């Protein structure tokens, strides 16, 4: 695709029979952005900030947004294969990757399968591994709490970023529910992790940066520290005045940190 026509409109490709929606914005060295479990809608300002310096490819994962969800797809591992094929179809041999929460898990899976395809990874509040004791959840049970309680875990300032459901269109509401259902499908059992992933992350030898908002109630500082130790070359940065989604609450600061790391 010619760089001059890249913009805000979504594109579509059929991959493994899946009608996949993706954004292709900006110009420069390619960067793959993988959104979290809430979908990509709230991340557009952050994506635009990255696209000021890089070509950003940002797919909606199968079952999220308007991307299709085939009967056979039921795991994060499946999604990792889909996105590796997306890189093939776009003729992108090597990319930098930003993965947020669920997207960080997907990125980690991709890095163990094809480490030569990923130059550097920035993982924002990533999930996907079991690092604590077997008798306690590493990640709170988000499916068993109210939206208000979940927002208190997700945001530094919940009142500022809480979704106004009454003002949302029917289409936006349907997408929100669909995203939640797909997250449950792929991350319910085992809860928010792949038991095998921690034993494979030694293959992800590229430089890795793990970012965490200092008010994050979804992933703890201890969890991120244990996660980082599973990579051969990883560091940690904490972002002030941000919760689980610093790319939403502090988009400029988060983008600056990531772009500097990639540079």
Q: Give the whole-angstrom CA distance, residue 250 versus residue 28.
A: 23
Q: List, as one string, the DSSP characters of 96-145.
A: EEEEETHHHHHHHHHHHH-GGGEEEEEEES--B---S-TTS-SS--GGGS
State the CATH class of domain 3-262: alpha beta
Q: In what order do the strands lie in the sheet with 234-239?
A: 7-15, 18-25, 55-59, 30-34, 95-100, 118-124, 208-213, 234-239
pLDDT in tens, the chain (263 residues): 333 335 567 999 999 999 999 999 999 999 999 999 999 999 999 999 999 999 999 999 999 999 999 999 999 999 999 999 999 999 999 999 999 999 999 999 999 999 999 999 999 999 999 999 989 999 999 999 998 999 999 999 988 888 888 888 999 999 999 999 999 999 999 999 999 999 999 999 999 999 999 999 999 999 999 999 999 999 999 999 999 999 999 999 999 999 999 99
Reply yes or no: is the peptide bond before residue 232 cis, omega within 30 of 0: no
Q: Give the whole-angstrom CA distance, residue 117 versus residue 94.
A: 4
User: Of 34, 50, 95, whose CA–CA distance to 256 is shortest?
Assistant: 50
- Whether 97 contacts 120, CB under 8 Å: yes
Distance in Å from the first CA to the final CA of the chain: 24
22 phi/psi in degrees, rounded to 5: -150, 155
The answer to pTM > 0.85 is yes
């Amino acid at each position: 695709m010619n760089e001059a026509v890249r913009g805000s409109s979504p594109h579509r490709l059929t991959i493994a029979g899946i009608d996949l929606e993706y954004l292709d914005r900006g110009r420069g060295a390619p960067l793959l952005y993988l959104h979290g479990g809430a979908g990509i809608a709230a991340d557009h300002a952050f994506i635009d900030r990255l696209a000021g310096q890089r070509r950003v490819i940002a797919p909606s994962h199968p079952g999220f947004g308007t991307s299709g969800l085939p009967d056979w797809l039921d795991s994060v591992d499946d999604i990792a294969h889909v996105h590796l094929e997306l890189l093939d179809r776009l003729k992108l041999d090597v990319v930098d990757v930003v993965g947020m929460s669920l997207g960080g898990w997907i990125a980690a899976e991709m890095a163990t399968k094809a480490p030569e395809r990923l130059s550097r990874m920035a993982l924002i509040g990533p999930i996907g591994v079991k690092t604590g004791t077997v008798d306690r959840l590493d990640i709170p049970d988000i499916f068993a709490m109210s939206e208000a309680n979940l927002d208190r875990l997700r945001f530094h300032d919940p009142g500022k970023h809480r979704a106004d459901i009454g003002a949302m269109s029917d289409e936006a509401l349907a997408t929100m529910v669909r995203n939640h259902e797909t997250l449950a499908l792929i991350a319910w059992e085992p809860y928010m992790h792949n038991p095998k992933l921690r034993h494979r992350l030694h293959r992800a030898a590229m430089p890795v940066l793990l970012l965490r908002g200092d008010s994050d109630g979804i992933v703890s500082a201890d969890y991120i520290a244990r996660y980082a130790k599973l990579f051969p070359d990883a560091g940690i940065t904490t972002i002030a005045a941000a919760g689980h989604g610093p790319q939403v609450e502090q988009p400029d600061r988060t983008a600056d940190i990531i772009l500097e790391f990639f540079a």
